[in-house]
């Protein structure tokens, strides 16, 4: 059962309006299933779009931000809870802890770092939660190819490559996450 999804995404909105549209649609698809959001706690870029949309649909939005960023007044003031951490490292660990699944929307190097970390942590067994990327307009095409190349070159195994799924639409992504975490019927049920 998924209660909260960590959403990693750009602190900018990106050059194409389809990115903000995808962020809105993802938050809407999550909220329509009662699923809340854990995210970086900011109000800028796609982060702000995800937080505002989720709040407008009445689900919890939990932000996790290092104190030095909060002081720079870039924290979103309307969210349900804002956790402050001493460092960026603590922040990422707390986001991992608080979420039942991880989703990367289009973003920059911060998003790439967060996605890369949850994937490498899955690989070494630190968590067993689903990781998914929203490949809006093919944004993640080259990264997905690079992951395939890691398999071909013998640096990751095929089952490790499969620890991240990619999806063309927000609705498809959320459906897949829910299916992946649905309780399995017991054998005698
Ligand atoms: P980027 O993709 O480089 O724009 O970085 C966005 C990601 O890094 C988000 O998922 C956040 O968790 C984190 N992050 C980077 N910059 C900020 C910021 N100004 N406020 C809050 N989180 C940020």
User: Could you tell me the residue ranges of all domains in the chain?
Assistant: 4-178
Say how many C-beta atoms besides its own lie within 10 A of residue 38's C-beta: 26
- Which 8-state DSSP code applies to residue 41? -
- Looking at the DSSP bridge assignments, the partners of residue 8 are 104
> Cα(14)–Cα(49) distance, rounded to whole angstroms?
12
Pocket test for ligand 1, best of 40, 67, 82, 90 (most atoms within 8 A of CB): 40
The CATH code of domain 4-178 reads 3.40.50.450
- Which 8-state DSSP code applies to residue 183? P
**Distance from the alpha carbon of residue 178 to the mean position of ligand 1, in angstroms:** 26
pLDDT value for 186 = 64
> Cα(134)–Cα(35) distance, rounded to whole angstroms?
17
> Cα(25)–Cα(88) distance, rounded to whole angstroms?
28
pLDDT tens for the chain, 189 residues long, are 899 999 999 999 999 999 999 999 999 999 999 999 999 999 999 999 999 999 999 999 999 999 998 877 688 889 999 999 999 999 999 999 999 999 999 999 999 999 999 999 999 999 999 999 999 999 999 999 999 999 999 999 999 999 999 999 999 999 999 999 887 776 554
pTM of the complete model: 0.94
């Amino acid at each position: 059962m998924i209660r909260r999804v960590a959403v990693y995404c750009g602190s900018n909105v990106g050059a194409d309006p389809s990115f903000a549209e995808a962020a809105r649609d993802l938050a809407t698809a999550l909220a329509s299933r009662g699923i809340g959001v854990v995210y970086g706690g900011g109000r800028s870029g796609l982060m702000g779009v995800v937080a505002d949309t989720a709040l407008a649909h009445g689900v919890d939005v939990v932000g996790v931000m290092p104190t030095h960023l909060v002081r720079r007044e870039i924290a979103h003031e309307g969210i349900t809870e804002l956790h402050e951490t001493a460092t960026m490292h603590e922040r990422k660990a707390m986001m991992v802890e608080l979420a039942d699944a991880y989703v990367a929307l289009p973003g920059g190097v911060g998003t790439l770092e967060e996605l890369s970390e949850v994937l490498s942590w899955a690989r070494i067994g630190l968590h067993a939660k689903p990781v998914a990327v929203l490949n809006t307009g093919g944004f993640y095409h080259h990264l997905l190819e690079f992951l395939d190349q890691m398999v071909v070159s013998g640096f990751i195994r095929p089952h490790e490559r499969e620890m991240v799924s990619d999806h063309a639409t927000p609705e498809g992504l959320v459906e897949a996450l829910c299916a992946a975490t649905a309780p399995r019927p017991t054998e005698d049920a």
